Structure formats: C-alpha cells, structure tokens
Chain A
Amino acid sequence: MAESRDDFVIAVRSAFLKKANKQKFSLLTLLILSLIIIFLGSFNFKVIQYTKLGINELVYRFTYIASIPENYFKKYYFKISEHLYLYDKFKENQIILKNLKEKKLSNDYLILENKKLRKLINETIQSEDIYAKVLADNESPYLKSIILNKGSKDNVKMGMAIVDQSYLVGKIIEVNYTNSRALLLSDLNSKIPVLLEPYDMQAVLSGTGQIYGVIEYTKEDYRYSMDGDVIVYTSGQGGLFKPGLPVGKLIKDNGNRSLINFFSDFKQLDYVKIVSYEIGVNK
C-alpha cells in the first residue's frame, strides 16, 4: 500500500518537476505562470492588459494570413452550394422582388413623412460609418466574435454597432490600435434592446450560441398573441444602437421562447460597417 503511494508520488513529482530532453521549462513553472496570468488578468492588471494589446496587434494579422487557405475552402463551399440551389433561389427571388417593388413605393412616402416630422420636433440623427474588413471569424464553441481591421486609430470605440449591409450583426467589445473585436448577436453573452414590430413591443434579444436568438423580458400574454410577420428592430434604448436597425424575424414559438432568425448570415461576413450615431437637436 505504502509502496504504491510512493510510486504515485514519484510519478507525479517526475511529471511536474522533471525537465525532459530539450524542455527548457518544467511543467509546474509554466502551470504557475499561466495561473498568475489568469488571476492578474481577472483583476485588470495593467502589465497584462498592455501585453495582451501587444499580442493582439501581432496575432490578429497572423490569424488573417493563417486563415487564407480555410477562407478559400469556405468561399468555394458556398459557391458550390449556391450553384446547386440556383433555380430554386431564382424563383424565390422573383416573388420577393415583386413584393419589394410594391413596398418600396409606400416606404418612400414614409421616409419623406418621417423626415418632415423630425424637422417639426427639431430632431436629427447623425450617423457615421466606418467600413471594415473581417480579418477572422472565430465562431468557436465558446465565443462568437469577429476580428475587424479597424481600431482606435480609425476612431472605433467600444459599444459601436456592427452592420452588414443594413442589418445589425453585433457590437464592438475590444478595441486595439489597428484592429478590434466585435461580439456577434448569436453569442450567449449578447443582449440588446429591441422593438418588435408591428406590435411596438420593447424586449431584449439574447444570443443562444446557435444560429438564432431568443426574445426575453416580454409579457407572457403578448408573447402568445403575436401572429403574422414580426420583425425585430433595434429600439435605441440605452443609447447604444441607432434605433430602427433591422435585426431579424420571429420564426416560431418554441415552448416558452420566441426564436429570432437573424437577417444576416454571420458565417459569410466579409466587409461590415461600424456605425456610430448621435441624436441631436436642430438649432
């Protein structure tokens, strides 16, 4: 019994402390170093923050280069898929186009009316767009985020909205000098204030880690009475996002949850807009 315990202790000691051939560090040293970095990082220790910023600048560029072969593979995978469904897609697009043409006329009128009404209450919305390239999309099982090639030198700030065409896809959560990281709406940690139209209902859209989002913090009776097409827009509450950015469409009620199908395909993001806005009063 004592002998087997001795063997165990010897094996553990050897595993932790013995430096094998060509190993410059023992495992124990590196394990302790990792723990120190984790804990100092959790207390926002300045040295760790600056080291991280330095590593970010270097690593994001290398990530872009290392992702080139996979991106090519991905691009051709999507191309082939698109070709396979070309006819079905064409038929679907014809119907959508017909509907859109009808809607455009009424939309033009609404835009003019909206401008007129804003003028009446002396309110203006000024927004500034920064175009950015997606360096890498790291939809790991843990975090859904993208790395963009614009950073603090291009006036990118924390919390700015990320838009694909006109659809909201996420917000900036980390800014470095030449690049930044955006958290996608599909991430478990993403929560944004939204408006459900045409019901004019305020809610919070949460990411699920999957390809859809869920609506939270709405009254139960409202949730069950929603029929027809429900479109989700940003509400602008909290002053973080520009109000009225389209996010997604309510697809079905799965038990107690209202699932939201995002308009943008987060797996195919290539170029995005970083949007900042300001609500001002005309003088």
Chain B
Amino acid sequence: MSSLEKNSFIKSIQFYVPSLILLFSVFNEFDLNYLNIEYFSFNFVYILIFYWTLKNPLHLSYGIIFLSGLVNDVVIGIPIGLSSFCYLLICTVTAYLRNITLSPNFINDWITLLFTLLLVNSVEVIFLDLIFSIHVDYTKFFVNTGFTFLFYPIFLIIFNNFEKKIRIRKND
C-alpha cells in the first residue's frame, strides 16, 4: 500500500517536473556568463516552453507560464508583463502548429522555432527600445536567437527521453 502511495507521489512529482524546471530557471536565470565568452548566450526558457507546449501541453499550464514571465521580469529588471507576453506568444505559435500538424516533423518544428524566436525577440526589442527607451544590444539578441536555435536538438533529445519515461509510467 505504502509503495503504491509512494509510486503515485513520484508520478505526480514527475508530472510537474517541466513546471518546476521552468520556475527554477526563471528564479535562477542560469546563463553561464561567468565563463567570459563574449558572444555566447541562449534562452533555455524559450526552448523549454516551446518543447513542452508543442509536445505535451498537459505538463506546462499557461497560468504557470504567465506567472514565470512575471517572475522573470522582476529578476531581470525589465518592465513587468513583457516576458509573460513573449512566453505566451511562443505558446500561441505552438498551439497553432499543433492544430495544423497531423504528423509531427523535427525539421518543421525546428524551423518554426527559428521563426518564433525571431518574432519573440523582435517583440521584446520593440517594447524595450521603442516603448520603454531601454537600450539593448541587437547583436546579443541575434547571438541569443542563434544559440537557442542551435541548442534545441540537444534539449529535444533530453526532453524526449524524459517525456517517454513519464508516458511509460502513466500507462503502467
């Protein structure tokens, strides 16, 4: 009986792992900037939201995404609501992609990610630079977009493996 309870507890924890990783990422703002690589940065949160809202939106609710956006704004120090808007834009693209796709294809997803990143970063630049008059480095945005795009397949493999684990346990 107790092993069954323990098992269901682990299952429920596993179910919320993507949400927990998202919250931890926005609180921590893990960025590897201390490695002193001048033109290197990637946005792990974008990859996380894109993957889970595309593949399995049950694990990452829009409410949590909205809340993490608010937290991210406070942690980074940009106008409140901006990250939430950007994260939800990613969700919009993935929801649309899910609706029009019958058989998922990695290349399609990857190219859509590039389009999404360009869209989201453009929206962010427009808000920061033109509306709030906060100067931003355009080169860094491009570098960030590039590395986030390039790192997607690596995280895709990791998340795919994890997703399989959750799915198998759910069917047990």
Min CB distance, A35 to chain B, in Å? 6
| Residue B112 at the chain A interface, CB threshold 8 Å | no
Within 8 A of A (CB), among B66-108: 66, 69-71, 74-82, 84-85, 88-89, 91-92, 95-96, 98-100
Q: Is the CB of B92 within 8 A of A136?
A: no
**Which of under 10, 10 to 19, 20 to 34, or 35 or more describes the interface residues of A?**
35 or more
The winner among B74, B92, B99, B132 for most chain A CB atoms within 10 A is B74
Q: How far is the CA of A263 from the CA of B143 in the complex (A)?
A: 27
Chain A residues whose CB sits within 8 angstroms of the CB of B29 once the complex forms: 63, 67, 136, 138, 140
Q: Which residue of B lies closest to A69 (CB)?
A: B28
Q: How far is the CA of A149 from the CA of B5 in the complex (A)?
A: 42
| Residue A222 at the chain B interface, CB threshold 8 Å | no
Q: How far is the CA of A18 from the CA of B69 in the complex (A)?
A: 21
Of the candidates B34, B71, B88, B91, which one forms a contact with A77 in the assembled complex, judged by CB atoms under 8 Å apart?
Answer: B34
Q: How far is the CA of A56 from the CA of B75 in the complex (A)?
A: 8
Q: How far is the CA of A268 from the CA of B33 in the complex (A)?
A: 11
Known: A23-B57, A267-B33. Contact between A136 and B91, CB under 8 A?
no
Q: Which residue of A lies closest to B33 (CB)?
A: A139
Q: Is the CB of B28 within 8 A of A63?
A: yes
Q: Is the CB of B78 within 8 A of A143?
A: yes
Q: How far is the CA of A167 from the CA of B143 in the complex (A)?
A: 31
Min CB distance, A138 to chain B, in Å? 5
| Residue B24 at the chain A interface, CB threshold 8 Å | yes
| Residue A86 at the chain B interface, CB threshold 8 Å | no
Known: A27-B91, A30-B62, A66-B28. Contact between A11 and B77, CB under 8 A?
no
Q: Is the CB of A31 within 8 A of B85?
A: yes
Of the candidates A21, A56, A173, A208, which one forms a contact with B58 in the assembled complex, judged by CB atoms under 8 Å apart?
Answer: A21
Q: How far is the CA of A11 from the CA of B81 in the complex (A)?
A: 26
Q: Is the CB of A59 within 8 A of B71?
A: yes
Q: How far is the CA of A13 from the CA of B84 in the complex (A)?
A: 20
Per-residue CB contact flags for chain A residues 10-52 toward chain B (1 = under 8 Å, else 0) read 1110111010111111110011011111100110000010011
Chain B residues whose CB sits within 8 angstroms of the CB of A41 once the complex forms: 79-81
| Residue A142 at the chain B interface, CB threshold 8 Å | yes
Per-residue CB contact flags for chain A residues 185-213 toward chain B (1 = under 8 Å, else 0) read 00011000000000000000000111100
Min CB distance, B139 to chain A, in Å? 9
Min CB distance, B25 to chain A, in Å? 9
Chain B residues whose CB sits within 8 angstroms of the CB of A36 once the complex forms: 81
Chain A residues whose CB sits within 8 angstroms of the CB of B57 once the complex forms: 20, 23
By a beta-carbon cutoff of 8 Å, the part of chain B in contact with chain A is: 24, 27-31, 33-36, 38, 41, 57-58, 61-63, 65-66, 69-71, 74-82, 84-85, 88-89, 91-92, 95-96, 98-100, 124, 127-128, 131-132, 134-137, 140-141, 143-144
Q: Can you add 19 more A-B contacts, CB < 8 Å, to A24-B61, A33-B66, A62-B27?
A: A14-B95, A20-B57, A21-B58, A23-B61, A24-B63, A31-B88, A34-B84, A38-B82, A55-B70, A55-B74, A56-B74, A67-B27, A70-B30, A78-B34, A141-B141, A143-B77, A188-B135, A209-B140, A210-B38
